[in-house]
Structure 1
Amino acid sequence: MTRQPPTFPSRGPTDHSVRDQIVEAAMQHFGHYGYEKTTVSDLAKAIGFSKAYIYKFFESKQAIGEMICASRLAMIMAVVDQAMAEASSPSDKLSRLFKALVQAGSELFFHDRKLYDIAAVAARDNWPSAAGHGERLHRLIEQILREGRETGEFEGHTPLDEASHAVFLVMRPYISPVQLQYNLETAATAAEQLPALILRSLAPR
């Protein structure tokens, strides 16, 4: 069964200005103290709201984190979409996909370290936003492989789902927030060498 895109539960009035105010305070606190060290009580004190009032708009701290995480993952996917639009072939798409993901993830890590931690928590705990992001990438890889088979660029003997899953697993240490933080030193090299290796393995026999 296909997982539906993540939704962000709210309670009470859907006043976007108040929700935005809560999210802005959360981003500041998460960015300074980290997601796991920030409590809903901290956010309530920072905004001047009661804790109960915040729960009218978000059912939990995770729901707030989900909204922030989803926005960061959307930024990464925007980079990916741009890379796909500039690609000239399925092979080029696969190479650009890997490089775009590594670049976007690395930049988020270095320039937004504490907010990057939210993505790491989301991936570790399999939040809907992180799970949906992984599924979108998996589908994109499968689509690229299918296109490559149709154009004769890629072999067609291996079952498509098996091949796409294998490619995703090769990429995962450099695109998963949990794993990328431990692979930053090799990320630039991996973004060049691993796509080349993958493409050689996909070449028609």
Structure 2
Amino acid sequence: MPRPKSTDTEATRQAIATAAENMFRSVGYSKTTLADVAARLGMSPANIYRFFRSKQEINGCICDRLIMEYENTWPDSIDPGAPAAENLPRLLLACHRHIRSKILSNTGVYDMFVAAAEQNWPVMLEHMSRMVVFLAGIVQAGVDRGQVLPCDTNRVATLLLQAMSPFLDPRRIARTIKDSVSLGVEEHMESDLEAIVSLLLRGLSPLLPPLAI
């Protein structure tokens, strides 16, 4: 690959991140070094440091890019005119499927997301905050339409996200799949997700006594 032009800093940063991501996918996250990335681009390792201070910063750039691709699917997974009881499971099911197809499908990408979660990378913490805001918006729409009891929507969204951890955390999804295979049983993660969301939403129904949340 020809050396990126240094006149466009952002383009060069993205070229470096793309090369690193491709190596994560083909070689592995832990096995990829800055020297490998530099060699792939026809650059010297020292030149990489003109654009990124460390491999960790490159990792954060890649993780952020993949997260934004993921987040950009959120609006299309819901129907603004539908009730919260329909939009919440739609969104969460779409998130679960995206994680399974885009993250668990490649060991290198999976290993990077595991590191991001376990080490509390800023991009991951910011992503979780944005997800709470998006979920809270759906809950608030339900409150405004009388479909959901008045509540602290951010608190409800946070609790909902915590309850969805088995279906949205790549580590827990991978463990469930592995256990199902080893036990020779079929996993029902999608139907389980929908059942749990339905159960949680019953607690916010205006037809039932209000919850203390």
More helix by share: 1
Q: Which of 160, 178, 182 lines up with 2:171 in the alignment?
A: 178
Alpha-carbon separation, structure 1, partners of 2:32 and 2:81: 42
1:155 aligns with 2:157: no
* 8 A Cα contact 2:104 2:174, kept in partner: no
Any stretches of 5+ residues in structure 1 without a counterpart?
1-11
TM-score (norm 1): 0.82
User: Which digits, 9 at most, give the CA deviation of each residue in 1:94-139, with x for residues without a partner?
Assistant: 1111111111111113433322322221122111221111111111
| CA RMSD between the two structures | 2.2
The residue number in structure 2 matching 1:165 is 158
Letter in 2 for 1:36: S
* 8 A Cα contact 2:104 2:170, kept in partner: no
Relative to structure 2, which stretch is displaced further, 69-78 or 85-94? 85-94
TM-score (norm 2): 0.80
Task: Output aligned runs, 1:26-41, within 5 Å.
Answer: 26-41=20-35
1:54 aligns with 2:48: yes
The residue number in structure 1 matching 2:89 is 95
Letter in 1 for 2:194: E
* 8 A Cα contact 1:94 1:195, kept in partner: yes
The residue number in structure 1 matching 2:205 is 203
Any stretches of 5+ residues in structure 2 without a counterpart?
1-5, 178-186, 209-213
Alpha-carbon separation, structure 1, partners of 2:153 and 2:22: 44
* 8 A Cα contact 2:132 2:154, kept in partner: no
* 8 A Cα contact 1:14 1:57, kept in partner: no
Q: Identity of counterpart residues, as a percentage?
A: 26
Aligned residues: 193
Task: Output aligned runs, 1:44-123, within 5 Å.
Answer: 44-85=38-79, 88-123=82-117
Give the match's secondary structure for 2:90.
helix
* 8 A Cα contact 1:13 1:57, kept in partner: no
* 8 A Cα contact 2:78 2:90, kept in partner: yes
Determine which structure has more spread, i.e. the larger CA radius of gyration. Answer: 2
Q: 1:183 Cα deviation (Å)?
A: 3.3
1:128 aligns with 2:122: yes
The residue number in structure 1 matching 2:181 is none
User: Which digits, 9 at most, give the CA deviation of each residue in 1:69-116, with x for residues without a partner?
Assistant: 112112221221101246612221111111111111111134333223
**Distance change >3 Å, CA 40–CA 48, structure 1 → 2:** same
Give the match's secondary structure for 1:173.
helix
Higher relative contact order (CA 8 A, sep 6+): 1
Alpha-carbon separation, structure 1, partners of 2:64 and 2:102: 13
The residue number in structure 2 matching 1:144 is 138
* 8 A Cα contact 2:85 2:198, kept in partner: no
The residue number in structure 2 matching 1:190 is 192
